[in-house]
Amino acid sequence: MTADPAAARLAMLLARTALRDRGAFEQLYGATRAKLFAVSLRIVRERFLAEEVLQDSYVSIWNHASGYAPAKSAPLTWMMAIVRNRSLDVMRRTREEPDIDDVLTQSLADERAAPEREALDRARAHSIRSCLEELEAEQRQPIALAFFHGLSHSELARHMGRPLGTVKTHIRRGLMRLRDCLARAAITEVE
């Protein structure tokens, strides 16, 4: 990650932010705000809400900068995850729906009594794109719509004119195929 000078600069600014350096935090904001605002705006769709998300996210970045681990993720990835999460939080208050995934989450809670660590591998940006392209359109499309526009399962089903169960299956299978492809790409990179 540090091979990329832009990412290295962001990592440095984040590290200084963790030390309560306001100037560094302002530079970090300047370097990332337009990207993060765009990401939130796509998901929440209302400027007013996206502004709130951005505000909350940067306050959270300020408060949790010391928790950023450069070894685990690129700085922008870490910040985007905060913004995406906050956007999804804000949205679910207005568009909440019951979901059978709760059953799965429950069974995971029961099974993961003794978690096993897996080695953390990493893939570059081009990998996700080429791996997405390997998917069939019916798997790729709902994944992209959900990622960029924050559509839920039922919104995807309505949008695509497909039964809910079919859309869920396509997403699950698509994601697992993506994982296998990305893991392969990571291994190839190491070699």
Partner 1 sequence: MRRPHDELAHALAAEYVLGTLRGAARRRFESLLAGDAGLREIVARWEAWLTPLAGRVPPVEPPARVWRAIEARIAGRAPRRASWWSSVAFWRPWGLVSSGLAAVLLAFFAYFSTGPRTEPVFVAVLVSSSQQPMGVVSMHPPDVLRVRVVHDWSNMKDRSLELWVMPERGAPRSLGLVRNEVGDTMITIEPTDPRVRDAKALAISAEPPGGSPTREPTGPMLCKGMIAPVQRS
Residues 53-82 that bind partner 1 (CB under 8 A): 54-55, 58-59, 62, 72-74, 76-78, 80-81
Judged by beta carbon, residue 104 or residue 187, the one nearer partner 1 is 104
Residues 2-21: x where in contact with partner 1 by CB under 8 A, - otherwise, as a string = --------------------
Judged by beta carbon, residue 12 or residue 155, the one nearer partner 1 is 155
- Give min distance, CB of 117 to partner 1, in A: 5
> Which residue in the set 124, 138, 160, 169 belongs to the binding site for partner 1 (CB under 8 A)?
124
- Give min distance, CB of 160 to partner 1, in A: 13
Distance CA 80, CA 73 (A): 11
Q: Retrieve residue 62's tokens.
A: 């300020």
Q: Which stretch binds partner 1 (CB under 8 A): 4-12, 25-33, 133-141, 157-165?
A: 25-33
Interactions with partner 1, residue window 80-99 (CB under 8 A): 80-81, 84, 88, 92-94, 96-99
Judged by beta carbon, residue 2 or residue 107, the one nearer partner 1 is 107
Distance CA 24, CA 131 (A): 36
Judged by beta carbon, residue 105 or residue 191, the one nearer partner 1 is 105
Distance CA 9, CA 18 (A): 14
The verdict on 184 binding partner 1 (CB under 8 A) reads no
The verdict on 191 binding partner 1 (CB under 8 A) reads no
Distance CA 172, CA 153 (A): 11
Distance CA 75, CA 12 (A): 9
Distance CA 9, CA 2 (A): 9
Which residues, 6+ apart, have CB-to-CB distance to 181 below 8 Å?
127, 130, 131, 134
- Give min distance, CB of 165 to partner 1, in A: 14
The verdict on 172 binding partner 1 (CB under 8 A) reads yes
Q: Residue 40: phi, psi to the nearest 5?
A: -70, -45
The verdict on 162 binding partner 1 (CB under 8 A) reads no
Distance CA 50, CA 86 (A): 10
Angle at the Cα of 117 from the Cα atoms of 183 and 188, rounded to 5 degrees = 20
